[in-house]
Amino acid sequence: MGIPISVHVSFFLLVALVISANSGTAGMGWINATIWIVSVFACVTIHELAHSITARAKGARVRSIVLLPIGGISRIENMPERWIDEFWVAITGPLASIGLGVVAAASALATGEHLLPVDLISGALLPRLAWVNLALAAFNLLPAFPLDGGRVLRAALERRHDVETATRLAARVGRVLAVALAAVGFFWDVWLILIAIFIFMAATQEQASTSLHVRLTGHQVRQLMRSPVEALDASQRLGSLTTYWTGFQVVTSDGRYVGLAEGTDLMSGDADALVGDFTDREAPVLDLNEDIGHSALDHLVESGYPLLAVVDQGVPVGVLLLEDIARWLSSSGPVGPSGRPY
């Protein structure tokens, strides 16, 4: 369906741990462990695909799905602003897990396998998949960010409140739940404490991120970008450079945009090397009229660069910097144009 699915390198640590824990089991222990973990994360992938397909149907852009040891993450851009759309994007993941659990349970019963007692360690595959999918749905429906239940709660609160207030209230519920979970974990299982810390921090981060996006929404890139700025010719040799800033736009001899080059890379290169050899030609670019709060800030943060080029019809016209956005937020006033290269 055109959605890239990748596996984070840390995922293989989980695979190694599970297989190692079962390697001493007689017979097919490690093979069964491998089948189990692959089956579980196939279900996790379907859970994330449900989110992604629904989001795309609502007009959002799905960048990718990443599988982690703790589950999956759908990287979605331009999330729909209507509360009902966010509700359906959030709820379809748990619904998919419930559906998988029901199918696995029905298949188990049809083949004569028993669902009780619950055994996720050494039981038959189909009953284990049934219970793990139901557990996945139940856990994700907890009303705390970044879990699906936190987003469902925010969507419901948006019926009566603006998105910033709804997020603040949902984040507060998430933090209270995290404290309660940590208290239970103190007497029962240390893993619950670690999950609680993760939920508490994620709820706080979601609240801050939403507030930031709300303040920036409605402001275009042209309002906060620096222009004009110095650009380097891709055919220029590093030995000819006299100044090194954090980053440079790189252009062809006729001024067409090529990509971004970081100052530290240019400083470390050989004097006879070309600027074009140190240029990231895949770096994202911004449009003059792009909304900062809606998409430009996300592009800038996810790129890993402190700045991104603003390009109009193939020609660079300025740069947008994280530090200028931060300055604007602290002063609540626009950043004036600067001729200083950066």
> Helix, strand, or coil here: 257?
strand
- Summarised one tens digit per residue, pLDDT across range 16-74 is 777 776 666 554 577 788 888 889 989 999 999 999 999 999 988 888 898 887 778 88
- Summarised one tens digit per residue, pLDDT across range 80-93 is 778 999 999 999 99
Q: Quote the pLDDT of residue 286.
A: 93
**pTM, 2 dp:** 0.75
- Work out the mean pLDDT of the chain and round it to a whole number: 86
Two tokens, residue 103:
């199918």
| Domain ranges, ordered by start, for the chain | 1-141, 146-216, 221-331
Q: How confident is the model at residue 336 (pLDDT cuts 50, 70, 90)?
A: very low
The 8-class DSSP code of residue 22 comes to: H
Q: What is the rounded (10 degree) CA torsion for 173, 175, 177, 180?
A: -140
Q: Quote the pLDDT of residue 22.
A: 66
Q: Quote the pLDDT of residue 246.
A: 77
Q: Quote the pLDDT of residue 24.
A: 60
Locus of tokens 């749905």: 137
As a whole number of angstroms, the distance between CA 341 and CA 305 comes to 16
Q: Quote the pLDDT of residue 341.
A: 29
Provide the CATH number for the domain formed by 221-331 in this structure. 3.10.580.10
Q: Quote the pLDDT of residue 338.
A: 37
The 8-class DSSP code of residue 286 comes to: B
**What are the residues facing 249 on neighbouring strands?**
231, 260
Phi then psi dihedrals of residue 220, to 5 deg: -90, 160
As a whole number of angstroms, the distance between CA 223 and CA 334 comes to 7
Which among 316, 318, 334 has a CA at the least distance from the CA of 229? 318
Q: Quote the pLDDT of residue 25.
A: 54
Percent over 70 (pLDDT), the chain: 94
Q: Are 274 and 238 in contact (CB under 8 A)?
A: yes
Q: Quote the pLDDT of residue 339.
A: 32
Q: Are 283 and 309 in contact (CB under 8 A)?
A: yes
Statement: residue 223 has pLDDT above 80 = yes
